[in-house]
Structure 1
Amino acid sequence: MEVSTLILLGAAGGLLRGLLDVYTQFVNWQADRRAHRQLPAGHGCEAPRFPEYYDPIADPIAAVVHSAMGAGAAVLFGTTGQISGAYAALVVGMSAPMLLTQLGRVPSVSDAVTGGSQTGDASQVEAIPQSAPAARQPDPGHARGQVPSRVAADSGQALREEGMS
């Protein structure tokens, strides 16, 4: 795929992400308006206004930044052979902020193997952990709207510690 096509598709993906953000804020505003209209008459507060959900200066600037990041990410991924096809370039453009953030966190291969940057002294090499931490299982009570037991236990412990101080 040509670089100009990658730029166009990546930028379009970034712009779609900006439009999705606006749509999400619109849906939030709409839901809050509906909730407000269902309140009893004379409750004393005014209906939410759309400018409270959408910033007409920052949100379009964010869409332009997302578009530029999308174009750059599509070119990066497309020219290195990581993606092929228009759909992939569009998706990379939409997810560019997250992808580029993750790429910035990936250590180089030599750092991963040696455990850090080498300064010439072999004694400074750190051991690489052999196992990943176990994934936490969701608390079934949390899904039913109850306070997770570990949160309640932690809160009780914090209260006991405050009482001791």
Structure 2
Amino acid sequence: MEVTTLLVLGAAGGALRGLLDVYIRFLDWQADRRAHRRSPPEQADPPPRFADHFDPVGDSVAAVVHSAMGAGAAVLFGTTGQISGAYAALVVGISAPVILTQLGRVQSVSEALTGPPATEAAIGAGPPGTEAAPGTVPSPAAPPEPPGPAGTVGTGEVGS
């Protein structure tokens, strides 16, 4: 599939994501209106307005960002052979925010097996005011004593 086709389909998927967000806000507004209609007549509140559930500026910017993310994700997945076909490019565009968030959280295989790499500061770190000699492994610090009764620390005495 051509890159321009992937761009268009991914962006269309992102725009559909924006429309889905507007639809969800519409359903929330509709539910609030129904709840208002069921409320007692002596409750003189005006019915909820759609503008209370929809922010035209913020939601429009979000739709543009979703379209850009959808276009980028569709090109990324399409040019690397991860997807093929128009439907797949559209679905990747719709789900681009979730996919890209998950890709940002992926660990490398070695990091998953051995844990995150240790930094020099973490290796040589000891209690404040102590420095480890070069080439030595610092010993772990003793854990702090738990507070005693009535807020006393480290006395070992039981309060009365």
- TM-score by length of structure 1 reads 0.69
Amino acid aligned to 1:107: Q
Report 1:101-116 matches (<5 A).
Answer: 101-116=101-116
Is structure 2 residue 80 aligned with structure 1 residue 80?
Answer: yes
User: Cα offset for 1:40?
Assistant: 2.1
**In structure 1, distance between residues paired with 2:49 and 2:23:** 15
**In structure 1, distance between residues paired with 2:116 and 2:35:** 53
| Gap regions ≥5 residues in structure 2 | 124-150, 152-160
**In structure 2, distance between residues paired with 1:68 and 1:38:** 42
Structure 1 runs, 4 residues or longer, greater than 3 Å off: none
SS of residue in 2 equivalent to 1:92: helix
Amino acid aligned to 2:91: V
Number of residue pairs matched by the alignment: 123
Amino acid aligned to 2:112: A
- Which has more helix, going by share of residues? 1
Identity across aligned pairs (percent)?
Answer: 70
User: Cα offset for 1:117?
Assistant: 3.3
Aligned to 2:64: 64
User: Cα offset for 1:116?
Assistant: 2.7
| Gap regions ≥5 residues in structure 1 | 124-164
Aligned to 1:37: 37
Aligned to 2:98: 98
| Structure showing greater Rg | 2
**In structure 2, distance between residues paired with 1:32 and 1:20:** 18
Q: RMSD of aligned C-alpha atoms?
A: 2.2
User: Cα offset for 1:46?
Assistant: 1.6
